[in-house]
Amino acid sequence: MSKQTKNPVVQPLSTLLASSYTLYLKTHNYHWNVTGPMFTTLHGLFMTQYTELALAVDEVAERIRTLGAPAPGSYTAFAKLSKVEEENGHPGAKAMIKQLVADQETVVDAARALFKVAEQAGDEVSADLAIRRMDVHGKNAWMLRSHLE
């Protein structure tokens, strides 16, 4: 039996890590490729969000390591675990915003799933991490959604 299967919190943490990393990559991609009249605003907003995500993925990975399991760290592993889908094209600015809103909400759902498992396992640290991630991604979704109104 692997260390991953011994602690029920590791799997939802790994899903949160993979989903967050995929969102990081997508947001960075959009930062590089956004065009149009909202360029300056979106370029800056996307940079703020991917910068925060870069720190977040490290925190999640280190929590997995603290629990004694290896953190997934390859694109192959992330593709299998992530609830956020990769972006292979170059959508327009409005489509980027809509996709990122959906992806931020997907990461909120992944954090919520982690919270439930962590709470049942009595892992207050992972539960706290999940709550903080739900807050950040909920706020990010709201900020993005505001550009669609």
Six token digits for residue 96:
């980027």
- Dump pLDDT digits (tens) for 42-81: 999 999 999 999 999 999 999 999 999 999 999 999 999 9
- Dump pLDDT digits (tens) for 72-104: 999 999 999 999 999 888 999 999 999 999 999
Q: What is the pLDDT of residue 8?
A: 96
- Dump pLDDT digits (tens) for 28-44: 999 999 999 999 999 99
Q: What is the pLDDT of residue 89?
A: 87
Other CB atoms within 10 Å distance of the CB of residue 98? 16
Asked if the model's pLDDT at residue 15 lies above 70, the reply is yes
Instruction: For residues 34 and 43, give the distance between their C-alpha atoms in angstroms, rounded to a whole number.
Output: 7
Asked if the model's pLDDT at residue 4 lies above 50, the reply is no
* 23: Cα separation from own chain's centroid: 5
Asked if the model's pLDDT at residue 3 lies above 50, the reply is no
CATH code of the region 3-146: 1.20.1260.10
Q: Find the Cα–Cα–Cα–Cα dihedral 86, 49, 70, 88, rounded to 10°.
A: 10
Six token digits for residue 116:
């439930």
**110, exposed or middle or buried, with CB in 10 Å at 0-12, 13-18, 19+?**
buried
Q: What is the pLDDT of residue 1?
A: 29
Q: What is the pLDDT of residue 5?
A: 47
Instruction: For residues 108 and 141, give the distance between their C-alpha atoms in angstroms, rounded to a whole number.
Output: 9
Q: Report the amino acid identity of residue 55.
A: L
- Dump pLDDT digits (tens) for 101-136: 999 999 999 999 999 999 999 999 999 999 999 999
Other CB atoms within 10 Å distance of the CB of residue 58? 12
Our CA angle for 135, 137, 141, nearest 5°, is 120
pTM for this predicted structure: 0.94
Instruction: For residues 99 and 26, give the distance between their C-alpha atoms in angstroms, rounded to a whole number.
Output: 10
Listing DSSP states for 33-86 in one string gives H--STTHHHHHHHHHHHHHHHHHHHHHHHHHHHHTTSPPP-SHHHHHHH-SSPP
Confidence band, pLDDT 50/70/90 cuts, at residue 6: confident
